[in-house]
Amino acid sequence: MVRRVHDPRIQGNISLQHFKDQVADEELSSKSERMALLSDVVEFCDERTRRTVVSDFPGAENGLQIENNGTISKVGAAVDAGRVPFEKAIARGIDFLIVHHGLFWTPPVPLTGRHYMKVKTALDGNLAVYGAHLPLDAHPEIGNNALLAKELGLEAERSFLDYEGTEIGLLVRHEGDRAGLAKRLQAQFPHSFTPMEFGSKTPKRIAILTGSGRSALPYLKRNGTDTLITGELRQEHFNVAQEEGFNLYCCGHYATEVFGVKALAAEVAEQFGLAWEFVATECPL
């Protein structure tokens, strides 16, 4: 029997599912009409990512990189600060975009050509851009490493790979054989998964370093593992895997770094009662 409900917001009786759908639509509409101050959102992101205490690579400027008119109505998340992600975000009504790979690196570049058009796109579209690089790799709760481990059902053991006082890699416990691990990784990353298997067939501890993984290689064995899950490596690392006896699983730089920006955007949206959306760019690398 279909349960009927009555609510003063609607006329007559409707099915419970219809009522729930209507309430959900009203809540989404309400969120789309809400606003937050840019300064409040930036302060929340700075505190949540520990921006001021996590050192990044030289020239990487985390935090607010482009400001808008000072108010936020919709939050977005993207891996890269690129012209196309900016255009997509603006078209979807996003005015605060959280990115992992921000605008500023070493060496700085003049705002000409494509660099000018990228910044101009954001300014013309009233799009504020917030970058969080290493703070969103190393974070124990909303970091790329931690969230990838969670997606794979792997229990975090401890961090490793110190960079300027922050350990940016993660060690996890593993039960089972590498065939099962490879199967899970293939399912998680169907378009970007490349295995190189020359290590243990039953690794008990696995290292995770999303994005570029080459900096972790010298520290694997000294941390009791021969297996690394990462985004990308260089061609010469195939020889390293053979010679050192490593299992190296490359899953895509882009694909392994979608987790942190999504998590932070979701938390911002929840904190300020805003809608949020992930802006994908289909990067195969």
Instruction: Write out pLDDT tens, residues 183-214.
Output: 999 999 999 999 999 999 999 999 999 999 99
One domain, residues 132 and 215: no
pLDDT at 89: 98
Q: Is residue 244 part of a domain?
A: yes
Q: Is residue 159 part of a domain?
A: yes
One domain, residues 121 and 144: no
206, 185 in Cβ contact below 8 A? Answer: no
Q: Is residue 77 part of a domain?
A: yes
Alpha carbons within 13 angstroms on the beta-carbon side of residue 238 total 3
pLDDT, one tens digit per residue, over 258-269 is 999 999 999 999
Residue (of 232, 238, 260) closest to 151 by Cα position:
260
Report how many domains make up the chain: 3
pTM over 0.85: yes
SS3 state of residue 46: helix
One domain, residues 263 and 191: no
One domain, residues 56 and 130: yes
Q: Is residue 283 part of a domain?
A: no
One domain, residues 149 and 223: yes
Q: Is residue 285 part of a domain?
A: no
pLDDT at 28: 52
One domain, residues 187 and 227: yes
Q: Which residues 6+ apart lie within 8 Å of 285 measured at CB?
A: 192, 232, 252, 253, 254
One domain, residues 65 and 111: yes
Q: Cα–Cα distance between 238 and 196 in angstroms, integer? A: 7
One domain, residues 142 and 252: yes
pLDDT, one tens digit per residue, over 47-59 is 999 999 999 998 8
One domain, residues 205 and 166: yes
One domain, residues 25 and 85: no
Q: Strand ranges (DSSP E) for the chain?
A: 4-5, 14-15, 36-37, 63-66, 71-72, 74-80, 96-101, 128-131, 155-163, 166-173, 194-197, 205-212, 227-232, 247-250, 275-278
Residue (of 160, 162, 185, 166) closest to 174 by Cα position:
185
Segments forming the whole domain that contains residue 15 = 4-33
Q: Is residue 214 part of a domain?
A: yes
Average pLDDT (178-187) is 97
Which DSSP helix (H) or strand (E) runs through 106? none
One domain, residues 126 and 164: no
